[in-house]
Structure 1
């Protein structure tokens, strides 16, 4: 499911929940110079940069340079979707608590009969025995299946843009803030109606055969700074699951746009980094800002 792979910052905790059984394959170095898109919102005394991130990446993708690096260096503060706890077990424990099914219904029993075999096969194929997830709500399994195959393909969470940016901010003594809390972000999934959770899980399972090609394409659009193509590639998933798109993407974009508008009242320079899917296409953060009569202009990288 394209949307979830570009708009979650919960990947490290999801990997924790699958017990570390997925090992990233070592890929030969293949240096790629990327020029991801960057936008700027500005008034008389405040500048806010908007940068779309990829949460997992392969080694040797060189993106932290040029306009992105200059904007980051000029900023007083880095703002991420969330600030992950230093002890990732804390996040994992919160997820496990919120994902626990309180009605006693086994996860596989919630699925339509024809979708149970492919779900179980997908979990087993990715090193996650489906029986271990029976006590959880469907969103947990969907999240795990959104991540594990990418790890097997050589993508690494510690190479994700948020990790790189937060490390650089801490080294430079910059303040690091967040648009959401860890609990809020987990709740976006945990509070979905079961029908939508099942939809999310089934859509993830259905998308697994094409995941390598699909994610690779999205990553190439990101590297090339082509948000329009990125948005077009995401449209099919968004149109197929409009309720999920509203909760996980569009509604959050609207909240962040209001946050940005309010933040313009405080002088300074900020570098905001959120999943690239939030800054692409209809309903994006830029669209939401436009509705508030605020213009986000593309910055040359």
Structure 2
């Protein structure tokens, strides 16, 4: 009898924990053409305690004919590898870091070593790839793992949804994303890497990464609005690249695709990086400008 009571209590506790899973990121309800779409802001890393996701997003995904992600990393690993080969690596015959003045190259290599990267092992990678690797290093320092990314978790849930047979669609491709970053001239990429290393040395990058993740974890609208304003006002190379290349240039085409999904079918879930939903140039505001109703759930 005592064991039965314990089992019942534990079952109740687990169900309650799932029911009260924390709101994280940002969730919007988008309406138009007699259809509803859920727009969810994610981060591309995660922790075990992020899961299960809160009930509203789980229920929305369970009813969704389509889950639209920026890219689906599970779809074609070979295509991802090819995109990095074409856009993220110096081609044969390119001098790479050897094109830099010796003092500058030595300074960059010393800073890379300090952050745990072996300059010789990463010499074939373009500077923009090193910048992304350094961002992952900072996320790992804070206890987050790319293997537990929210987007990937949603993809797994969609593929496991046998009853609904939820389709996983991509708003972009890895070739597009990698090509966009590689469009920066080599000199701008080296300066971006140097600025990133300086921000890591000062602790600024880790501090701003922590602020974003904590705002995500609390679904803190005030903190997220402050982050959006900081990005809008940041005139460093890192700030301009984030604002103009990684957000503004992508958000318009992304909004067009979200609007097309809303027109075509009901109950779609669109999950993209949280920064794409913030500020005057974010997807919610761009969709409103298209005459589409957008309500913030949290």
Q: TM-score range by the shorter chain?
A: 0.7 to 0.9
Q: How far, CA to CA, are the matches of 2:43 and 2:265 in structure 1?
A: 29
Larger gyration radius, structure 1 or structure 2? 2
- TM-score, length-scaled by structure 1: 0.79
Q: How far, CA to CA, are the matches of 1:250 and 1:111 in structure 2?
A: 34
Does the 8 Å contact 1:108/1:116 carry over to 2?
Answer: no
Q: Which moved more, 1:269-278 or 1:32-41?
A: 32-41
Q: Which moved more, 1:267-276 or 1:127-136?
A: 127-136
Q: 1:38 to 1:144 in 2, by over 3 A?
A: same
Does the 8 Å contact 1:34/1:63 carry over to 2?
Answer: no
Equivalences for 1:1-301 in 2 at 5 Å? 33-36=21-24, 37-62=26-51, 64-85=53-74, 88=77, 90-102=79-91, 104-107=94-97, 109-110=99-100, 117=107, 119-172=108-161, 173-208=165-200, 209-238=203-232, 239-240=234-235, 241-299=239-297
Q: How far, CA to CA, are the matches of 1:43 and 1:288 in structure 2?
A: 14
Shift of 1:152: 4.0
Q: How far, CA to CA, are the matches of 2:112 and 2:254 in structure 1?
A: 34
SS in 2 for 1:133: coil
Does the 8 Å contact 1:231/1:277 carry over to 2?
Answer: no
Shift of 1:283: 0.9
Q: How far, CA to CA, are the matches of 1:196 and 1:283 in structure 2?
A: 24
Q: 1:195 to 1:40 in 2, by over 3 A?
A: farther
- TM-score, length-scaled by structure 2: 0.79
Q: How far, CA to CA, are the matches of 1:183 and 1:171 in structure 2?
A: 27
Shift of 1:259: 1.3
What count of residue pairs does the alignment treat as equivalent?
A: 269
Structure 2 gaps of 5+ residues are 1-17
Does the 8 Å contact 1:46/1:268 carry over to 2?
Answer: yes
Q: CA RMSD in A?
A: 2.7
Shift of 1:255: 0.8
Q: How far, CA to CA, are the matches of 2:111 and 2:78 in structure 1?
A: 25
Q: How far, CA to CA, are the matches of 2:29 and 2:105 in structure 1?
A: 45
